[in-house]
Structure 1
Amino acid sequence: MSTYYSTHGRAFGYALFLFLNLASLPLTAQRAPMDPDFEKHLNQALNDSLSLEVRKKHLTFYYNLVKEIQDDSLKYERISEIVEIASNLKDSVYFHNISNVGHKLALSINKPSFVGDSHWNYAAYYLNEKEYERSYDHYHHAYKLFIEANNDYYAGKMLYNMAYISSKTYDYTGAEILLFRSIKLFEQTGSTLQRYRSFNLLGTIADDMEEFEKGLSYYTTAANLIKELDKWEYNRLQNLNNLGVRLIKMKQFDEALSYFNEALSFPEILRSSPALLAKLLDNRAYCLISLGKHENVVSSMLKAIAIRDSIDDTSGRVISRLRFANYYGKIGDSAQAIVYAKHARELASENNLKRDVLHSLEFLAVYDRKNAVSYLERHIALNKKINAEDRNLRNKFTAIQYETETYIRKNERLLKQKLQLLLISLVSIAILLLIYLNTRQRAKNKQLLLERQEQQYNEDMYLMALAQKSNLEKGRAEERKRISQELHDGIISRLFALRFKWQTIKLSGEAIMLEQHRHFLNLLEELETDIRNLSHEFRNMLYMEDKNFLNGIKTLIKEKSEIGNFTFRFDYEQAEDWENIPFITKINVQRFFEEVLQNVIKHAQATEVTVSIYRDMKVLIFKITDNGKGFSQSQLKKGIGIKNLENRSSKLKGNLEVQSTLNVGTVICLCIPINN
């Protein structure tokens, strides 16, 4: 059974590539000749129904066009596709000429992915030629380059193909190690198909080592991945074939037959997979022959060999002829058995299938008794040669694997160092960033502190000016009080005494002089009255200044009512308490009333306004109520006026409440906490 899949080559979807890329060729191939048949020539090169010479001719035409492309990267990609096509034209000279050009171009570009791709082309070619040592070496180089290019998917495919070659040389342990490494990479890249193929190959290797339970475990793991694949129906049939072949190796032909029959019950799927159909037909016939059921097996075997001949399945063609040799040997037709065995040996020799040559020699030694000794001698000699070659290859593969492991450890160490360096760099950047942010924040805090100090200084200066003004006013009041007292207690008393004494003097004389005397006495009384009135006015002024806060509020309301054409009522309690509040509070409260009354005039259209000032425990309450048009609370927009009120409330550490009802009115209340 062959579980090898053509992952060493790339899919030949060139028709789609042509459609997407040929249109851009004139832009990149600046000197390329404009041939209208360009696309036709490349399609002909891909047409495997044509002769090799005709296909090569068309491919050469396309290659000559590609050489004119100026962009080296695009040129290499096109040449790499030409190399893939050339590897199937069975012309080693032509292949090497093209691939050498591509390899040199990849080296000149110095891009790991391109150089790795060129090694991949060589590896695929040598694998088809069964030159396992050279193929393995190129896959190894490609693997390292794809690792360097951080392309884990292609690196995993290189490991898979190296594992396949190891299994062909019976280095099963080495193959398993490589496959587990490839599976790890495929898990990282999320490639379910490649994981499926890797577990299938692990199952085949386990069967070849006769570890059948282990093989079943790998096949089961592969089967669990099938439904995640795009072509899961085909892969399910492939898995059934693998399970059947496993049972053949265990000599359980009845159980194996059930798997092949189940797979063959899907003819529509197998119609597009002739290679798998040929395998199933041939394997089922082999089971029937092994069970002694020779009826109706020839037709299946003939169909299988016809399919394999038509698709040029070299290994399958050899296996089909060996199966025919086995069939004719079972039914006693030695002559036909010898014919098919010799034909199988010829095909195997032509295609360097040495293990199949050994099998054909075994058949010939059994059925051609006259030449049995000669066949056995050839078998022994070839077997020694193959074992020596395989041993030599295994030693080389072991050395390469050791080199690979050393390379991996080196990469892991470098990656660890890079991660450490990156971590140190990130930590350093974070520390520097924190230092920068801390420095910037400290500078901001310092700036804010300076601004706050400046603001405090300005406020202190303002308060000082207010205090000076207050002291000045207080001095004036004291002076007025002193003058009033001086007038009342000094001058008026003396004038009164003078007038009283003057009235008590008995005067006599002419009537005119007495009249004049009385006139001066009246003038003196009037002067006394004027001075007393002036003294009382001074006292009244002092009284008014003592009540300046409430009077100022009342005056403000009166002025605003005249402007806003509304009536007002001013209610307050305990007038003597209001003069004890701080002067700065009085100023802000007065500004609060100005702002609110101005809003009433501008927006409320009120006819009545009530201003209430009272104290509730340790809270001063200032309330303004109007019967204006009001507004909806949800439509309240915080304009400059509202913001100013909130700012004043915040400065006073107070609380501002605004309540309004449409067509009813508005109540604005400022509550300020105070300390006794």
Structure 2
Amino acid sequence: MFNIKEQDSSLIADTDYLIAQTFRKSTTYADSAYFYYQKAEKIYRNLGDNLKLARTIYGVAVILKNEKDFIGSEVASFEAIALLEPLYETRSVVETKSYIYNNLGIVFKELDEFDESIEYNKKSLELKYRLNVKSSIDASKNNLANTYKKNKQYNLALNYYSEILSNKDLVKERPRIFSLVLDNYAHTRFLSGNLRELPGLYHKALKVSNSVGEDDYYSIIINQHLAEYYFDNKRNVDSARYYAYRAKNISEKYYTDDLLKSLLLLSKIEEDHKAVEHFNAYIKLSDSLQKNERAIRNKFARIRFETGQKEKENIQLTKERMWLFIISVVVVISSFLLYLVITQRNNNIELKFVQKQQETNEEIYNLMLSQNESIEEARDLEKKRISQELHDGVLGRLFGTRLSLDSLNRNNSEEAIKSRDLYITELKTIEEEIRKVSHELNTDFVSGSGFIDIIKTLVETQTLAYGLGYDLKHDESISWDDVNNKKKIHIYRIIQETLHNIYKHANAEHVNISLELKNDVICLSIIDNGSGYDVEKARSGIGLKNMNSRINEINGILKITSIKNQGTTVMIEVPMI
């Protein structure tokens, strides 16, 4: 199926072919016809349309035949036949073959190779019988009869002429063909020595030809044949002279071989200086026609040469364009590969950076935990020291005081007894309170409280720096010791990144941060009262990409909702395990 470019090329070639056909019908524009045939031929070759290519080459063969380049016409005809041989024999293919064989029949007749001429005329006739076009069949029969006539096989020629003339309607349907065939029939009888019905047959043919047009081209040959008939054996020299001049006058309009024949005939019929005059005109015209034929053949050769040169130039240009295309492709591919290498190298660098960052984060977090453990350890030691001091020092002394007061209680004065009882009671109260404080100081903190302290420190530090008020709520049921460091680092970083984004973009005054445990899922929510934003437009931001990347690494879920002038909510869900 043709694409658009091929369709355009085919239309251009069809147009060139039609122009060539129009010029070919005029004998004075053979070079123009040849030029346009060459243009069409080139396009059809490129398209691989062998049927149209064969028709075009046949047109070239006909022009070469008309210009008497019979060898060139023969070569072109066989090339056209070779193109048609592999094709399925549609009506168009058969019709084109019949025309080419017909041309070969005429060419071989002009070369006096009569056996080949008869062979190809018969091949043409056979194909035309299949097409069943009466006019075309009659044309081939006439060509075949002309070959037999030139080869002096007069009886065979007369048979074919008679077959054509047997059509009673021929004179009405195609009067020119009727006059042409009848003249050929009469002339064959003249050449064979059978003069019966002559010159009546000639006159009948001339009358029909004149009925079409008095100066009809076909009448030239009939007038010549009449002149030959009357000049033969000096039957009637005046009539011979009349018809010879008649043929000359008509043929002068066409300036072809028919005029040459008329001048030669007059040089034979006329006498003395007139005969010489016509013969000189014949020589001059013959030289002129030969020069013209050579000029036309040279022009054809020049057209072929220039076309060949253009084709070579086009081939060279095509090669140059191909090399340019190849070089361009190589450059593009090389650039693309270089881009891939650079991109891959950058990706590797980025990956190494991310890995290093993760290692650094782990190290930072471990340092933070280590620092926090050191702090906790110091706290524990201090608590134990205070507890020991309270227990061993203060309590001991209070206990001694109580015993002393208890011993003083032997003073039995009523007032002394009341005072001592009050002191003892008060000491017991102090003792219980100190014991309670000592017990609480000596009790361990809730396990995992270190990570929450880190989060508190982060929130306090950043909100203070950003000028934000905050509320931080955390679910004490979350066992942070069971959460791996990677998740805790990413939760820490997400809170840090979100607070930074709030400060940078939200213009908020307050933020609520909440950590809850729901069905073994840690739920982090960060809500600000800022200006809000279009979530869809902000999806390509680096900060958001980093948050998504972190959430994906710990198999979490990130949800962000925002309303203009009402604030933004960041919700994160991370499984405990």
TM interval, shorter chain, is 0.5 to 0.7
Q: Which amino acid aligns with 1:205?
A: V
What 5-or-longer segments of structure 2 have no aligned partner? 1-16, 46-53, 84-91, 149-155, 456-474, 499-515, 525-534, 560-570
Q: Find the partner of 1:507 among 379, 383, 407.
A: 407
In 2, Cα distance between the equivalents of 1:673 and 1:261? Answer: 112
In structure 2, relative to structure 1, the CA distance for the partners of 1:239 and 1:447 (3 Å cut) is farther
In structure 2, relative to structure 1, the CA distance for the partners of 1:177 and 1:482 (3 Å cut) is same
Q: Deviations over 1:5-45 (max 9, x none)?
A: 9967968xxxxxxxxxxxxxxxxxxxxxxxxxxxxxxxxxx
In 2, Cα distance between the equivalents of 1:160 and 1:345? Answer: 32
- Report SS of the residue matched to 2:407: coil
CA contact (8 A) 2:176 2:209 kept: yes
In 2, Cα distance between the equivalents of 1:669 and 1:515? Answer: 66
In 2, Cα distance between the equivalents of 1:340 and 1:397? Answer: 32
Answering whether residue 544 of structure 2 is matched by residue 647 of structure 1, we say no
Aligned to 1:474: 373
- Report SS of the residue matched to 2:255: coil
Aligned to 1:611: 518
In 2, Cα distance between the equivalents of 1:335 and 1:317? Answer: 20
Answering whether residue 136 of structure 2 is matched by residue 246 of structure 1, we say no
In 1, Cα distance between the equivalents of 2:203 and 2:519? Answer: 119
- Report SS of the residue matched to 1:243: helix
User: Could you tell me how far 1:392 is from its partner in structure 2?
Assistant: 6.2
In 1, Cα distance between the equivalents of 2:82 and 2:554? Answer: 68
CA contact (8 A) 1:654 1:672 kept: yes
TM-score normalised according to structure 2 size: 0.52
In structure 2, relative to structure 1, the CA distance for the partners of 1:326 and 1:256 (3 Å cut) is same
Q: Find the partner of 2:247 among 344, 348, 358.
A: 344
Q: Deviations over 1:94-124 (max 9, x none)?
A: xxxxxxxxxxxxxxxxxxxxxxxxxx9xxx7
Q: Which amino acid aligns with 2:143?
A: R
Q: Deviations over 1:606-657 (max 9, x none)?
A: xxx99311xxxxxxx7799xxxxxxxxxxxx99989x999936853253769
User: Could you tell me how far 1:431 is from its partner in structure 2?
Assistant: 3.1
Q: Which amino acid aligns with 2:433?
A: D
Q: Find the partner of 1:170 among 45, 65, 68.
A: 68
User: Could you tell me how far 1:456 is from its partner in structure 2?
Assistant: 6.5
User: Could you tell me how far 1:376 is from its partner in structure 2?
Assistant: 11
CA contact (8 A) 1:278 1:304 kept: yes
In 1, Cα distance between the equivalents of 2:211 and 2:489? Answer: 111
In 2, Cα distance between the equivalents of 1:538 and 1:265? Answer: 139
Aligned to 1:303: 208
User: Could you tell me how far 1:485 is from its partner in structure 2?
Assistant: 2.8
Q: Which amino acid aligns with 1:578?
A: D
Answering whether residue 219 of structure 2 is matched by residue 317 of structure 1, we say yes
Higher Cα radius of gyration:
2
User: Could you tell me how far 1:359 is from its partner in structure 2?
Assistant: 7.4
Q: Deviations over 1:375-423 (max 9, x none)?
A: 9999999998887777766766676666666555544443333233222
How many residue pairs match? The answer is 448
Aligned to 1:205: 107
Q: Which amino acid aligns with 1:358?
A: K
- Report SS of the residue matched to 1:542: coil
- Report SS of the residue matched to 1:543: coil
Q: Find the partner of 1:414 among 313, 326, 333.
A: 313
User: Could you tell me how far 1:487 is from its partner in structure 2?
Assistant: 3.7
In structure 2, relative to structure 1, the CA distance for the partners of 1:476 and 1:465 (3 Å cut) is same
Matches within 5 A, 1:347-358: 347-348=250-251, 351-355=254-258, 358=261
User: Could you tell me how far 1:578 is from its partner in structure 2?
Assistant: 2.4
In structure 2, relative to structure 1, the CA distance for the partners of 1:484 and 1:298 (3 Å cut) is farther
In 1, Cα distance between the equivalents of 2:318 and 2:393? Answer: 108
User: Could you tell me how far 1:318 is from its partner in structure 2?
Assistant: 0.8
In structure 2, relative to structure 1, the CA distance for the partners of 1:454 and 1:468 (3 Å cut) is same
Q: Deviations over 1:579-610 (max 9, x none)?
A: 4453436728998xx9xxxxxxxxxxxxxx99
- Report SS of the residue matched to 2:432: helix
Q: Which amino acid aligns with 1:282?
A: S
CA contact (8 A) 1:159 1:179 kept: yes
In 1, Cα distance between the equivalents of 2:99 and 2:378? Answer: 112
User: Could you tell me how far 1:305 is from its partner in structure 2?
Assistant: 2.7
Matches within 5 A, 1:590-669: 611-613=518-520, 647=548, 651-652=552-553, 654=555
In 2, Cα distance between the equivalents of 1:263 and 1:181? Answer: 39
- Report SS of the residue matched to 1:654: coil
Aligned to 1:530: 433
User: Could you tell me how far 1:172 is from its partner in structure 2?
Assistant: 0.4
CA contact (8 A) 1:362 1:375 kept: no
In 1, Cα distance between the equivalents of 2:257 and 2:267? Answer: 15
Q: Which amino acid aligns with 2:373?
A: K
RMSD after superposition: 6.7
Q: Which amino acid aligns with 1:612?
A: N
In structure 2, relative to structure 1, the CA distance for the partners of 1:264 and 1:324 (3 Å cut) is farther
Q: Deviations over 1:171-216 (max 9, x none)?
A: 301344577899999xxxxxx99x8999475564345444333456
CA contact (8 A) 1:248 1:256 kept: yes
In 2, Cα distance between the equivalents of 1:657 and 1:401? Answer: 82
CA contact (8 A) 1:318 1:348 kept: yes
Q: Find the partner of 1:542 among 421, 442, 445.
A: 445
Matches within 5 A, 1:260-299: 277-286=174-183
In 2, Cα distance between the equivalents of 1:313 and 1:487? Answer: 145
In 1, Cα distance between the equivalents of 2:374 and 2:311? Answer: 91
Aligned to 1:486: 385
In structure 2, relative to structure 1, the CA distance for the partners of 1:358 and 1:182 (3 Å cut) is same
User: Could you tell me how far 1:281 is from its partner in structure 2?
Assistant: 2.4
Answering whether residue 489 of structure 2 is matched by residue 578 of structure 1, we say no
In 2, Cα distance between the equivalents of 1:612 and 1:278? Answer: 110
User: Could you tell me how far 1:157 is from its partner in structure 2?
Assistant: 12
Q: Which region of structure 1 is more displaced relative to structure 2, 443-452 or 528-537? A: 443-452
In 1, Cα distance between the equivalents of 2:407 and 2:393? Answer: 22
In 2, Cα distance between the equivalents of 1:583 and 1:244? Answer: 103
CA contact (8 A) 2:402 2:427 kept: no
In structure 2, relative to structure 1, the CA distance for the partners of 1:461 and 1:611 (3 Å cut) is same
Q: Which amino acid aligns with 2:68?
A: Y
Aligned to 2:332: 433
In 1, Cα distance between the equivalents of 2:555 and 2:445? Answer: 32
CA contact (8 A) 1:166 1:394 kept: no
- Report SS of the residue matched to 2:518: strand
Q: Deviations over 1:489-509 (max 9, x none)?
A: 453244444455555556234
CA contact (8 A) 2:64 2:72 kept: yes
The share of aligned pairs that are identical, in percent, is 11
User: Could you tell me how far 1:473 is from its partner in structure 2?
Assistant: 3.5
Q: Which amino acid aligns with 1:173?
A: I
In 2, Cα distance between the equivalents of 1:396 and 1:424? Answer: 41
Aligned to 2:512: none
Q: Which amino acid aligns with 1:484?
A: K
User: Could you tell me how far 1:307 is from its partner in structure 2?
Assistant: 1.3
